[in-house]
Homo-oligomer: A and B are copies of this chain.
Amino acid sequence: MTPRVPQQLALRRVPIDTSRENVVFLHAECAAFPGLGFRPLSKVQLSYDHHTAVGSLDIVRADWLGVNEVGVCEYMFQRLGVAEGTLVALSYPGILHSTNSIRRKLAGARLNRAEFDEIVRDIVSDRFSKVELTAFVCACAQNNLDRDEIVDLTLAMTGVGETLDWGGGMIVDKHCIGGIPGNRTSPIVVPILAAYGMKVPKTSSRAITSPAGTADTMEVFCNVELSLDRMREIVEKEGACLAWGGAIDLSPADDVIISVERPLNIDSQGQMIASILSKKKSAGSTHLLLDIPVGPTAKVRRMEVAASLRRQFEYVAKEIGLHIEVMISNGEQPVGRGVGPALEARDILAVLENREDAPSDLREHSLQLAGRALEFAEDIKGGEGYGVAREILRSGRALEKFQAIIEAQGRRNGRLQLGQYTFEIKSDCNGRVRRLDNFAIARLAKLAGAPLSRGAGVEVLRKLGDEVKQGEPLLRVYSGTPAESALAEDYATTEKTIIYCA
């Protein structure tokens, strides 16, 4: 519907950081009220030329906003991309039809492609507030999407973002569904594949519900916010990159959805598949290796569920024209020693540098994955990939490629520093480690400040089956502030399932 009764006001940047929510400010005595009848919580549309944005209205009674001005928060100001003082038109955003679809979905109905398209368009054009966004996430949770709905949601999410075209040839990608703290294999696998000569334009999310995403960890080493052009140049030169997907708008809907999934600590299977595959499709990938870890405290707890998830991934990938290889791996405990951006970065370097103290499980898992992905190449036979990967790592060619990628993306120095406030969780008996809870360790690392505080996290000093003596440290927790350290320690004191020895 066309916006009606526009009204011109001078745009004013309001220096308030609302974190990913569009807020519009009008003075209580603004002339727009009698004419337009706006009220607090109303949605308001601003437009100038071809730029439009919808925000929630806050009413201001102070002299820092003029009665002929319309204020917008920092986030909205950036997205609007119009200079301060510009006369912008104010209007009703029209009727939000897609809430009907969300309501129907909550009541158990199927949605079609057109309905997903409408929802995704409304998300990326900021017409949803956190309320509608959360309702959509909840409506799609608990396996509420069938496989054809997931295909439609994937295509809808692919349709609104940028798309990369690499001009033909095999484009390889590797992805893990997550849930296992410290399982940071991409920064090891991608350089191995690129060193072999594969093209791997890797994009990753920031953490959704975990203490670190690959993008968070890579940011310890280098810039991860690459423009499309810059990403293309780097992949042209080095064969690979390790970038944040959100910065290049490959699936802009996804990053908005994540902003409500995070506080709820929620993941929806259908949305997970659509989120992953839409980004891969947009990035121009032709071949994807997907890692699904299974374990009692992993995202996927039983083999049957992993098998069903594998089938769904395979179905959707086929429908959207993506070659997929799914690997089901051991997810019974954290991988590596570190959990949190800087701690994981330290483990990655240790593996790439072939250091003796490098965590062997992170090394092995990375080689398994790299081996399978190398077998996408016509000249590597089934079963031979692992040996090739191991040789590339041993020879130092993987490290060399990793350093080249970091240089190309823009190296950051001195970011490996760990949080200065630490405490340890110690064994209360002589025996062996019997249980390590992925979820509780992730939570502990998050309370300690990860991923936003780069040096925060958990160091896992003992793994399942390791012998321990009473009083020996099992976990060490790092925080950047005393408050976060205290919060993590409160949790460690009350939550007994984190690590268990007997």
Contacts and interface: CB of A to CB of B under 8 A. Distances in A.
Given A103-B266, A134-B138, A486-B4, A40 B59 contact: no
A167 interface: no
A249 interface: no
Interface stretch (A10-18, A47-55, A220-228): A10-18
Contacts of A130: 129-131, 134
A478 interface: no
A106 B25 CA distance: 35
A502 interface: no
A482 interface: yes
Interface in A105-139: 106-108, 129-132, 134-135, 137-139
Contact of A265 (B39, B73, B99): B99
A407 interface: no
B5 A16 contact: no
Given A15-B60, A19-B41, A135 B483 contact: no
B102 A264 contact: yes
Looking at A14, A487, A491, A494, the one whose CB has the most chain B CB atoms below 10 A away is A487
A102 B141 CA distance: 12
B58 A40 contact: no
Interface stretch (A270-278, A307-315, A394-402, A447-455): A447-455
A103 B266 CA distance: 7
B18 A482 contact: no
A34 interface: yes
A484 B94 CA distance: 10
Interface in A19-47: 19-20, 25, 28, 34-37, 39-41
Q: Interface majority SS on A: helix, strand, loop or mixed?
A: mixed
A341 to B, nearest CB: 15
Interface residues of A, number: 66
Contacts of A453: 37
A360 interface: no
A20 B142 CA distance: 30
A99 B40 contact: no
Given A132-B263, A265-B99, A108 B64 contact: no
A470 to B, nearest CB: 28
A58 B22 CA distance: 12
Given A5-B483, A18-B40, A135-B264, 16 more contacts: A1-B490, A4-B486, A4-B487, A4-B490, A16-B60, A16-B61, A17-B58, A17-B61, A36-B483, A58-B73, A92-B487, A102-B264, A103-B266, A106-B138, A134-B135, A135-B138
7 contacts: A18-B58, A37-B453, A102-B264, A129-B263, A130-B134, A131-B134, A135-B138
Q: Shortest 6 CB-CB distances between A and B: which pairs?
A: A138-B138, A19-B40, A134-B134, A37-B481, A15-B61, A17-B59
